[in-house]
Structure 1
């Protein structure tokens, strides 16, 4: 009980949060440089990631620490959709230290304002990152918001996965992965998914499941390439 109270106190401390965001940004910079990254991208995904048009980057919440290494060094054209939850605020502060922009809102809750802001960003040929199982899960299950965002904006979704040969895995809902320095890493980007504007709810749900399967298959392949065991998604509710 005493430990729980202490951890909550730390989480609410501005000084502690400032240190955590500084350290997270520093660690991400270190990982980008000292992990031996190999990239395996679908040709169309590679063109989009390298700046040839807007896109929506899609990756699981538990693998976000690796994603800075997935795109070119200049972060200015990548905007991250961040929830307004306290954890989201921590992530937002960390990625802004790295030079990324933030769109506040939720692809699941609403966010008509967030949708409009994403559409504006994508219209300017920039990119948006979304974790479709965040901020609270279920793990590795796509919520429909990302499909709505793609349909609203007309931008393709690029599924991205990463893994490293040596890592820590936290006992959190998302099985958050922390790559260890000097490990070998792989980043994979699958074929972009284009969402038609005239699709109905049933068609969108079929594409949601397709995206989920593609992203999980990419994660399994990335884990296999570096000798790691695959992480199972949360069971589907009956």
Structure 2
């Protein structure tokens, strides 16, 4: 029994994360990225020293290796067994995994994120993960921004050609050699103190902005002028 448990632990902590990441890197090397509106990112970093990158779970695949270029970067990951495998991937990428969630270890994780942002770390956050519902910004995004003092910076990833999986969020993986937009949107500043009504209003506003920007960016693939502009 102990051998079986050791083998499972090895698979979760070493084999699966490294094999999965190797495949992601292999596919990602074929992508043609175009970064759009990077001045929003730079302005936020110049003003606040850090940002909270916000992305849908559905669109996260092309950002896995891309955001490794945005180090130092930290991401909050649950203390579950599945979270352990994700944390290993994060560590291999050179990111900083901060373990905690709304149900377990959340306060400690938020304090650690605040300390890290003060040292120049950026924060990556999947706003509707890990199990949805799809397209709903969970309160954790606003709370992280409040604790850290860093503005929210929605990041939109849109691929020209992609596979769509039959998952809760219709997870998307860009096909090899696909062209991809990575779009930085204007930062959203979050006050340190918000009453419940203001908190919910801000959460809904962030959700609406991300949805509208995703639709707008996806529509660029139907515009020959936009394609010629960014992929001459």
TM-score normalised by structure 1 residue count: 0.80
Query: How many corresponding residue pairs?
Result: 216
Distance 2:199 2:150 in 1: 15
| Structure 2 runs not aligned, ≥5 long | 223-232
Is 1:106 aligned to 2:66, yes or no? Answer: no
**Higher helix proportion, which one?**
2
Residue 151 of structure 1 deviates from its aligned partner by: 1.2
Note if contact 1:156-1:195 (Cα within 8 Å) is conserved in structure 2: yes
- Gaps spanning 5+ residues in structure 1: where? 1-8, 228-238
The answer as to 2:182 corresponding to 1:187 is yes
Structure-2-length-normalised TM-score: 0.82
Deviation string 1:158-185 (CA, Å, 9 cap, x unpaired) is 0011021222111111221112221111
Contact 2:31 2:179 in 1 (8 A): yes
Offset, 1:42: 5.4
Does structure 1 residue 61 correspond to structure 2 residue 82?
no
Query: How far apart, in 2, do the equivalents of 1:50 and 1:165 lie?
Result: 32
Deviations 1:68-109 (A, max 9, x none): 354473x54111111223332222222221211111112576
Distance 1:51 1:31 in 2: 35
Moved more, 191-200 or 90-99: 90-99
Q: RMSD value over aligned CA atoms?
A: 2.6
**Is residue 121 from structure 1 mapped to residue 116 from structure 2 by the alignment?**
yes
Find out whether 1:206 has 2:209 as its counterpart: no
Contact 1:88 1:135 in 2 (8 A): no
Go from structure 1 to structure 2 and tell me whether the alpha carbon gap of 1:46 and 1:139 turns closer, same or farther (over 3 Å shift): same
Question: What's the CA shift for 1:122?
Answer: 0.8
Residue 92 of structure 1 corresponds to 87
Instruction: Specify the SS of the correspondent of 1:222.
Output: helix
Aligned to 2:19: 23
> Structure 2 vs 1, CA of residues 63 and 209 (structure 1 numbering), >3 Å: closer, same or farther?
same
